[in-house]
Amino acid sequence: MPGITKRKHNAELMRFNKQLKQPLNKIYDILPCKYDENIILEYFKKFYPTEYKTIEQRYRHYQAKDEFLVNHGKKRRYKHLSPKKYLFTLAKVKHLQNCDEKEQLEKFRNFQQKRETIINNRKEKLSKNKRLLQTIEPMFIDILINLYHKKGNGIFEKMEIVKELQKYDSEKVIEFFSKLNDSERNSQIRVLAFKHLQRLGYYVKLRKGFKGKKKSYMLDKTTFEVTPQDLFDRLEDKYEVQEKKQYDFFISHSYKDIDEVVKVKDILNKRGYLIYCDWMSDSEYLKRELASEFTWYVLRQRIKQSKKVIFVLTQNSLNKSDWIQKELDFAKSIGNEIISLYVQFHHVMVA
Same domain, 346 and 232: yes
Average model confidence (pLDDT) across the chain: 92
Dist CA 330 CA 335 (whole Å): 9
Residue 272 and residue 304 share a domain: yes
- Residue 213 CA: distances (Å) to CA of 5, 143, 209, 218: 21, 32, 11, 10
- The predicted pLDDT at position 95 comes to 63
- 42, 289, 327, 337: the catalytic one is 327
Mean pLDDT across the stretch 180-209? Answer: 92
Do 238 and 343 lie in one domain? The reply is yes
Does 106 map to a domain? yes
Is the residue at 326 inside a domain?
Answer: yes
Q: With 70 as the cut, is the pLDDT of residue 96 above it?
A: no
Task: Express each pLDDT in 105-128 by its tens digit.
Answer: 999 999 999 999 999 999 999 999
Beta-bridged to residue 134, according to DSSP, are: 168
Whether residues 232 and 346 share a domain: the answer is yes
Domain membership of residue 132 (yes or no) is no
Predicted local distance difference test score (pLDDT) of residue 336:
97
Please check whether residues 155 and 109 belong to one and the same domain: no
Confidence class for position 215, pLDDT limits 50, 70, 90: confident
Query: Which region among 88-92, 149-153, 288-292, 313-317 has the lowest average model confidence (pLDDT)?
Result: 88-92
Query: Higher pLDDT residue, 346 or 269?
Result: 269
CB burial string 257-292: b at 16+ within 10 A, e below:
beebbebbbeebbeeebbbbbbebbbebbbeeeeee
Asked if residue 135 lies in contact with residue 265, where contact means CB atoms within 8 angstroms, the answer is no
Residue 313 domain-assigned (yes or no): yes
Looking at the structure, tell me whether residues 245 and 318 fall in a common domain. yes
Tell me: do 151 and 183 sit in the same domain: yes
Give 94's contacts (C-beta < 8 A, 6+ positions apart): 28
Domain-terminating residue out of 124, 152, 169: 124
Q: What is the pLDDT of residues 59-71, one digit of tens each?
A: 999 999 899 899 9
β partners of residue 247: 306
Task: Report the share of the chain in percent with pLDDT over 70.
Answer: 95
Q: Which has the higher per-residue pLDDT, 215 or 180?
A: 180
Check whether 6 has a pLDDT greater than 70: yes
String of b and e for 165-202 (b: at least 16 CB within 10 Å)? bbbbbbeebbebbbebbeebebbbbbbbbbebbeebbb
Kindly state whether residues 12 and 55 are assigned to the same domain. Answer: yes
133 lies in a domain? no
Q: What is the pLDDT of residue 345?
A: 47
CATH number of the structural domain spanning residue 318:
3.40.50.10140
* pLDDT of the residue at 176: 97
- Domain presence at residue 219: no
Active site residue 164: no
Per the confidence metrics, is the pTM higher than 0.95?
no
Domain of residue 64, residue span:
3-124
pLDDT at 2: 65
Residue 173 and residue 120 share a domain = no
Residue 135 lies in a domain: no
Residue 129 lies in a domain: no
Query: What percent of the chain shows pLDDT beyond 90?
Result: 81
CA distance 293 to 35: 69
Last residue of some domain: 124, 155, 175?
Answer: 124
pLDDT of 55 higher than 60: yes
Judge if 115 and 151 occupy the same domain.
no
Same domain, 158 and 185: yes
Q: Average pLDDT of 13-32?
A: 93
Domain match, 98 and 44 both? yes
User: How many other β-carbons are positioned within 10 Å of the β-carbon of residue 123?
Assistant: 13
Q: How many independent structural domains does the chain possess?
A: 3
